[in-house]
Amino acid sequence: MKTSIATVTLSGELPDKLEAIAKAGFDGVEIFENDFLAFDGSPSDVGRMARDLGLTITLFQPFRDFEGMPEGLRSRTFDRAERKFDVMQELGTGMVLVCSNVSPAALGGIDRAAADFRELGERAAKRGLKVGYEALAWGRFVNDHRDAWEIVRRADHQNVGLILDSFHSLSRKIDINSIRSIPKDKIFIVQLADAPLIDMDLLYWSRHFRNMPGEGDLPVTAFTEAIASTGYDGYFSLEIFNDQFRGGSTQAIAADGHRSLIYLADQVRRKVETPIGIAMPERAKVKGVGFVEFATSEDEADELIAILQALGFRKAAKHRSKKVSLFEQGEIRILVNVDTAGFANAAYAVHGTSAYALAIAVDDAQDAYNRALALDAEPFRQPVAEGELEFPVIRGVGGGLIYLIDDKSQLGRFSEIDFEVVATDPGTDAADAGLLRIDHIAQTVAYDEMLTWLLFYTSIFDTRKTPMVDIIDPSGVVRSQVVENESGALRLTMNGAENRRTLAGHFIAEKFGSGIQHLAFSTDDIFSTAASLRAKGFRPLHISPNYYDDIEARFGLGEDLTERLKAENILYDRDEHGEYFQLYSRTYGEGFFFEIVERRGYRGYGAANAIFRIAALKKQMRPEGVPKDAGISL
């Protein structure tokens, strides 16, 4: 696949955009006219910058309100076109994008438009240039790629072709199978954009809410399949108008765009015989979470370990060469790393005590790793002692680590190979609390990072994303989406914080970046687990009695059940599939906490309870101005 991106997609000045586009791995770039007009240099300066970075300028765009103009205005449009051609030749690009006319002065008529394009094609041919015609979804007379194709067909000029844009076709729900009959040599370039499904004015939707393929809800893959079926092998280019992208990191958005095209090509080549895309393993099937690792210090480890023990975890093993302890309960494995060397120590120095790494168990770790690298994931490696396992590792949210393990190799036996069993302290309560496995992991990120990480997970792992949910914090709104697989073996809740006054925003600000904010463990008997935890000295998060009066009436709960819930500070929810019970710890450090859940068929995550949980958590957090060593422990 030959990849390109329009400069309008990214924030920043034109030189910064070009550098980010090249660094992300794109082959080409569309120069958006406003980016050029705001640049102080000449067209040849821009062309030289692009070529020095290894980029082809795929087209210059847009040329507006051209076809079907009345006499008087018509001659002016051709004069404007000649000026565009001058700029293009200095830039060193061979194609201009002409979008369908939206001027109130425009006249309709397929033949009139075709005649205009034939003449424009003649003028372009004299300069060795090409003209691509695109149907805007809000074009006055032409807003359907089928009409645009008919105009191109009647123009019948080798220098005039069609530009197809997924947003313009899919937003109007035009039959994409109509693309399959278009000759591939008449498709001059393909522009791609996704978008969330929002019922609003097409122009406003397009100008503010487009996103990368795979980040929205439009059938961009099916659209691209239809194009691939023609044999088209030209550029696939991203043209994204998005308020979030305009204020985001230039390099991060460019990297997301390149990943989205690689992922899209992989999806298409698995369904259509096409030269686009590169060979890579299929999306990794997830079997579960192998472990979660905390980075901490000798001084702070005691408090964390005390919390784990109050939750029923026991120290099962210690690492053979590093200061890492393994705690277990059910299928859950937690590592506590106090080593003073290596990446964990660096993570602690920056973020304080934090869950900086997790292991995802997949069907084939090496295949998963190879796919991740093909999708531009950042690899990680650090030295290991002789005889110890070297995991395939990639960088994840907040720069943390994702270990990839499987049962096909020795990786699934890491606790036997890298760790040695420790004897249980005779004075330790050996009974667990009935926790079975990790139900879900909550990762808190800045809101403008959410699309990045949703695309990251869904492109590498065989997962899906759920619709976005608003989580109401007393100090603002947090946007939440879930990445999960079919079996529920992997559930990641992605929470996007927009201001630091929310619990999620406070966590990011105080931890100096995104990361895991809470772990949820499952049990098959929430009341038995609560009783066991109470006996071990666990202090649950206190929930207001008013909450229980409300849910008793709202769900029609019996008085006995309501009283049991209230006595143990357990929250309750219900959906069409079943019931959900939630028990929370108090916060540890700057907003980290644990959750225990019981699912009785329920498929959600208790979003309705979030406001009550957040309000309760914030009441017992360290107030602003109070030293961190005066924080509240569990």
The percentage of residues in the chain with a pLDDT greater than 70, rounded to a whole number, is 97
What's the pLDDT score for residue 49?
A: 98
**Residue for token digits 């043209």?**
239
Check residues 619 and 434 and name the one with the higher pLDDT.
434
604, 596, 606, 429: which is closest to 527 by C-alpha?
A: 596
- For residue 245, give Cα distances in angstroms to 236, 248, 410, 436, 447: 19, 5, 42, 41, 11
What integer is the mean pLDDT of 85-107?
97
Summarize pLDDT for 350-361 with one digit per residue, the tens. Answer: 999 999 999 999
Q: How confident is the model at residue 495 (pLDDT cuts 50, 70, 90)?
A: very high
**What is the overall mean pLDDT for the chain?**
94
CA distances (Å), 515 to each of 304, 397, 488, in order? 17, 6, 21
pLDDT of residue 633: 43
- Residue 634: band (very low, low, confident or very high) from pLDDT cuts 50, 70, 90: very low
Q: Is 191 among the annotated ligand-binding positions?
A: yes
Token reading at 272: 């259509």
Each residue of 571-610: pLDDT tens digit?
999 999 999 999 999 998 888 999 999 999 999 999 999 9
Which tokens hold the place of 344?
A: 């964990």
- Angstrom distance (rounded) from CA 157 to CA 129: 12
Taking the whole predicted model, whether its pTM rises above 0.85 is answered as yes
595 is in an annotated binding site: yes
Cα 283 to Cα 266: distance, rounded to the nearest angstrom: 10
Residue 625 has what pLDDT? 52
Element of type H or E holding 617 = helix 610-619
> Per-residue pLDDT tens for 44-75?
999 999 999 999 999 999 999 999 999 989 99
pLDDT at 611 over 90: yes
Domains of the chain, first to last: 2-269 (3.20.20.150), 286-420 (3.10.180.10), 437-630 (3.10.180.10)
Contacts 24+ apart (CB under 8 A), 425-429: 428/309, 428/314, 429/309, 429/536
Residue 431 pLDDT level (bands cut at 50, 70, 90): confident
**Mean pLDDT over residues 424-447, rounded?**
87
Residue range 12-22, pLDDT digits in tens: 999 999 999 99
The per-residue pLDDT for range 207-255, each reduced to its tens digit, is 999 999 999 999 999 999 999 999 999 999 999 999 889 888 999 999 9
CA distance 331 to 288: 10
Q: Which has the closest alpha carbon to 509: 398, 586, 585?
A: 398
For residue 599, give the nearest of 620, 630, 629, 577 by alpha carbon.
577
Share of the chain above pLDDT 90, in %: 87
Q: Is 328 annotated as a binding residue?
A: no
pLDDT band at residue 451, thresholds of 50, 70 and 90?
A: very high
227 phi and psi angles, rounded to 5 deg: -70, -45
What was the pLDDT predicted at 619?
85
Q: Quickly state the pLDDT bin for 126 (edges 50, 70, 90).
A: very high
Rounded distance between C-alpha atoms, residue 11 and residue 5, angstroms: 13
